[in-house]
Amino acid sequence: MAAKVKQLPSRGGTPAEKVYLIEIFKGMGITLRHFLRNLWDNSNLYVRHYPEVQPNIPAHWRGRHRLLTHSDGTPKCVACFMCQTNCPANCIMIKAGERTDGITEKMPVSFTIDLAECIYCGYCVEACPEDAIRMDTGIYAFTSSNREEMKIEMDEMLSLKGGYTEEEYQKGLEDE
């Protein structure tokens, strides 16, 4: 699709505009209006008082990753390496092993995501054939004082819960 080009009329050519001071005073009028309105009552500010007031995170927001489990608590992941292959940031490291509980043949022995490398593109979620990895925890703030702590392991990801109901999540996928 071709980009829509909007032609704006060229400004600044009239004598009144060339004097420049008049336009400056107009601009100063605008800023003064904002200033006085906010000085009069600072509840007029367009500010969210973070961190006391938290933002509303929509369901299709790509937050921290979690690994899903079957109803009996075993991981859904079959260690197919789809997400690792797809990852543009190369932040997923899977080690596969044999699965003994009879559900499938393979499962990950370790599943590590380096969140310092991750670009939160969501390709791992899209690539997963088993719906085993999702980014629906709604966690958007994740900090650490060293790089090693930014690597999250399988146990931690399995223990995270989704921030939304299944219905909301599916609707979020459609919105996206």
Partner 1 sequence: MTTLDIVMVIVRVSISAFVPLCFLAVCVTMERRVAGFVQDRSGPNRAGIYGFRAGGLVQNLADGIKLAFKEDIISEHVEHKFLYVLAPIISMAAAIISFALIPFADTLVLDGKAYVMQGIPWDTGILWFLAVTGFSVYGIILAGWSSTNKYSLLGALRSASQVISYEIPMGLAVISLLIVYGSINLSDIARFQGQNWLGFIPMWGIFLQPLAAVIFIVAAFAECNRTPFDLAEGESELVAGFHLEYSAMKFAVFFMGEYVAMFASSAVIVTLFFGGYNIPFFSTDFLIRNIKPVAFVMLVILPVFMFYFAKWIRRNNRSQYPRENDPREAEATVYIRCFWILIGVIEVFLLAILAFAQPDTAAAHLLVALMQICTFLLKVTLMLFVYVWVRWTIPRFRYDQLQILGWQKLLPLALLNIFVTGAIVVALG
User: Looking at 22, 45, 109, 119, which residue binds partner 1 (CB under 8 A)?
Assistant: 45
What's the closest the beta carbon of residue 10 comes to partner 1, in angstroms? 18
Task: Give the strand pairing for 151-152 and 66-67.
Answer: unpaired
User: Looking at 4, 11, 15, 46, which residue binds partner 1 (CB under 8 A)?
Assistant: 46
CA distances from 87 to 69, 90, 94, 96, 108 (A): 22, 5, 12, 17, 17
User: What binding mask, one character per residue, do residues 52-71 give for partner 1 by CB under 8 A, x or -?
Assistant: xx------------------
| Continuous H helices in the chain | 15-19, 21-40, 82-86, 123-127, 154-159, 166-175
What are the tokens at 6?
Answer: 């909007």
The Cβ-side half-sphere exposure at 40, using a 13 Å CA radius, reads 7
User: Looking at 6, 39, 145, 166, which residue binds partner 1 (CB under 8 A)?
Assistant: 39
Nearer to partner 1, 3 or 39 (CB): 39
Q: Is 105 helix (H, G, I), strand (E, B) or coil?
A: coil
C-alpha span between 171 and 154 (Å, rounded): 27
Nearer to partner 1, 11 or 49 (CB): 49
User: Looking at 11, 41, 141, 146, which residue binds partner 1 (CB under 8 A)?
Assistant: 41
Is residue 28 part of the contact set for partner 1 (CB under 8 A)? yes
Residues forming the site for partner 1 (CB under 8 A): 21, 24, 27-28, 30-32, 34-35, 38-39, 41-47, 49, 52-53
